C-alpha cells in the first residue's frame, strides 16, 4: 500500500513504482562501538531539484557535491530524454540544456522517480509547454499535484490532466508565464520549488505565500540566483521572484545532506559511540540535535561545519511529532524509532506528514522492540536490548532505521530492501565500515541461506507484543 500525504511536505506522494529489485542484503553484526570521522554527502533532495533547475539555463551548469545515488541516475535519464547533455566525474555533474528536443518526459522513467515531476516548471518557463506523466500514473489522483497545477494556472498556463499525463501550455503569443500572487494551502516543498523555478523566467513579479521553508528550498533559490535569477525570501513563508529574460551558466555546490547526517548521529547514539561528522550545516539539524539532547545524547558543534556526538550515559524516552521544517522532519522519524526502542521508558511518535509511514515498526518488533501502532501514532516501550533477525526496509527511511537498529542488536541481522536504501544513501555500508561497523553486502544466494539459518535460530525469536493497525 502506498503512503498517502497528510500534510504535503514534498508536494508529491510516494509512488507504487519501487526501484528495480535488488537481490542483495546487508548482513550486520551488531553490538560494536563506532569511532572516527564520517564524510557527509550532498543532499539528495537538493541535488535532484537542482538538476531539474538546470533546464532553466541555456548554457552549461556544473553541480558539485552530487551524491552517488540511484535516484540521481534516474533523474539524469529523465533529463537526457528531454535532450539535455549530462556527464559525471566523481561527485561533479556537468549539464548542458542549450537544446531541449522535446517537452514530453517519458512515462516509464517518470513513474520511477517522483522528483522528475519538478521538471514541469522549468520546461514551461523555457518552452511554454510541458507534458509530464504523474508519478505512479492515474492511481495517485490529482490531489498530490494540485498545488503545482493551481500555481501554474495562476501564472497563465493552461493545465489539463488526462490519462495520467499533466499537459501544460502557455497559450498567449509570448509563450511566457506571467508573474502572479500564489497562496499555497499547504507549505509543500515540491510545489514551492516547481513554482519558484517557473517564476524565474516569468514576465513580472511572482509572490509565493505559505511557502515551504526547508533548507532544500533555500538551496534551490541560491542555485537559481547564481544563474542570475532574482529571488528574495527563500527560507521564509513568503518568497518573491522577479522574472528575468534568461539565466546564465553557473558552478554550484549542493548543501550537505541533513538526513544522512541525522542518520549517522543516530548510528552513533544507539551504539554509544564517539563520532565526528563533516561537512554539515548544524542549523539544518536543530530539531534532530534538540531531540537527541532531550534523549540524553551529547552533540557538540566543534566548528562551523563539524558536529561531534559523544556516548550517552542513559537513553531517555521522548515524544516526537513530525512537522514541516523547521519542525521535526518526517524523514528522521523511522531512524529515531530505532533509538527510542532501546531508550528507558515509554515514547510516543505521531506521524503528521504521511499516512502509513510506520510500517517499520513491525520490522523493529522482529528485532525484539516493543512497539504498538494505532493510526498514525506509534507507542514505543523501551527494551534493554535488541536481537539480530532477518528484517526488510519497506521504504527508504525505514531501511535506514533497520541499519541503525541492527548496529545495536546482539548477533546477526540481515536486511532486505537495499533498493530503497541505495536511492537515498551514498554507500552507507562502506561509510559504516570505515568507522568500525561490521557490515557486509551479500548476494541473494548466500543471503537466503543466512536468512533461513537466522529464522531457525531460537536466539531471534521475538516474544514482544505484535504491531496492531
Active site residues: 138
Q: Which residue has the cell 568507522?
A: 435
Q: How many residues does the chain have?
A: 469
What 3-state class would DSSP assign to 133? strand
Q: Which residues contact 457 (CB under 8 A, 6 or more apart)?
A: none
Q: What is Dmax (Cα atoms) for the chain? A: 73
Q: Distance between the two ends of the chain, CA-based, in angstroms? A: 13
CA pair distance 235, 247, nearest whole angstrom: 22
Q: Among 1, 13, 20, which Cα is nearest to 394's?
A: 1
Phi, psi for 347 (deg, rounded to 5) = -120, 150
C-alpha cell at 86: 549530462
Residue 13 Ramachandran class (φ > 0 left, ψ -120 to 50 alpha, else beta): beta
Question: What is the helix (H) or strand (E) element at residue 354, kind and residue range?
Answer: strand 354-355
Q: Are 181 and 157 in contact, with CB atoms under 8 Å apart?
A: no
Cα–Cα distances (Å) from 107 to 13, 137, 174, in that order, read: 17, 8, 28
Distance CA 53, CA 119 (A): 7
Amino acid at each position: 500500500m502506498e503512503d498517502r500525504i497528510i500534510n504535503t511536505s514534498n508536494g508529491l506522494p510516494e509512488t507504487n513504482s519501487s526501484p528495480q529489485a535488488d537481490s542483495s542484503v546487508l548482513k550486520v553484526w551488531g553490538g560494536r562501538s563506532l569511532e572516527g570521522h564520517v564524510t557527509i554527502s550532498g543532499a539528495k533532495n537538493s541535488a535532484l531539484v537542482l538538476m531539474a533547475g538546470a533546464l532553466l539555463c541555456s548554457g552549461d551548469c556544473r553541480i558539485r557535491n552530487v551524491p552517488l545515488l540511484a535516484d540521481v541516475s534516474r533523474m539524469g535519464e529523465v533529463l537526457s530524454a528531454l535532450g539535455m547533455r549530462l556527464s559525471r566525474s566523481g561527485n561533479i555533474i556537468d549539464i548542458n540544456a542549450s537544446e531541449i528536443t522535446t517537452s514530453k518526459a517519458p512515462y516509464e522513467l517518470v513513474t520511477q522517480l517522483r522528483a522528475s515531476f519538478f521538471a514541469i516548471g522549468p520546461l514551461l518557463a523555457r518552452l511554454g509547454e510541458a507534458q509530464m506523466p504523474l508519478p505512479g500514473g492515474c492511481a495517485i489522483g490529482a490531489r498530490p499535484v494540485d498545488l503545482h497545477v493551481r500555481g501554474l494556472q495562476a501564472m497563465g498556463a493552461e493545465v489539463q490532466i488526462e490519462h495520467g499525463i499533466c499537459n501544460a501550455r502557455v497559450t498567449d503569443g509570448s509563450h511566457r508565464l506571467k508573474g502572479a500572487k500564489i497562496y499555497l494551502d499547504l507549505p509543500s516543498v515540491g510545489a514551492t520549488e516547481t513554482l519558484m523555478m517557473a517564476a524565474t523566467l516569468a514576465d513580472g513579479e511572482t509572490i509565493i505565500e505559505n511557502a515551504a521553508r526547508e533548507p532544500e528550498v533555500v538551496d534551490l533559490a541560491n542555485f537559481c540566483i547564481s544563474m542570475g535569477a532574482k529571488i528574495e525570501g527563500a527560507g521564509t513563508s513568503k518568497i518573491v521572484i522577479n522574472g528575468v529574460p534568461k539565466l546564465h551558466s553557473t558552478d554550484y555546490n549542493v548543501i550537505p545532506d541533513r538526513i544522512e547526517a541525522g542518520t549517522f548521529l543516530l548510528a552513533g547514539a544507539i551504539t554509544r559511540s564517539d563520532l565526528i561528522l563533516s561537512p554539515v550545516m548544524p542549523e539544518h539539524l536543530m530539531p534532530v540535535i534538540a531531540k537527541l539532547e532531550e534523549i540524553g545524547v551529547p552533540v557538540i558543534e566543534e566548528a562551523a561545519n563539524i558536529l561531534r556526538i559523544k556516548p550517552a550515559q542513559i537513553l531517555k524516552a521522548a515524544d516526537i511529532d513530525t512537522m514541516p521544517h523547521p519542525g521535526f522532519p518526517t524523514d528522521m522519524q523511522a531512524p529515531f524509532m530505532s533509538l527510542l526502542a532501546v531508550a528507558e521508558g515509554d515514547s510516543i511518535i505521531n506521524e503528521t506528514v504521511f499516512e502509513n509511514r510506520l510500517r517499520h515498526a513491525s520490522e523493529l518488533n522482529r528485532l525484539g522492540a516493543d512497539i504498538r501502532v494505532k493510526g498514525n501514532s506509534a507507542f514505543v516501550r523501551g527494551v534493554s536490548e535488541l536481537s539480530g533477525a532477518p528484517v526488510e526496509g519497506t521504504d527508504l527511511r525505514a531501511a535506514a532505521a533497520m541499519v541503525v537498529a541492527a548496529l545495536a542488536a546482539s548477533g546477526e541481522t540481515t536486511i532486505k530492501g537495499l533498493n530503497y536504501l541505495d536511492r537515498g544513501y551514498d554507500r552507507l555500508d562502506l561509510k559504516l565500515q570505515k568507522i568500525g561497523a561490521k557490515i557486509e553486502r551479500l548476494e541473494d544466494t548466500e543471503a537466503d541461506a543466512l536468512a533461513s539459518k537466522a529464522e531457525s535460530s531460537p536466539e531471534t525469536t521475538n516474544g514482544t507484543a505484535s504491531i496492531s493497525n
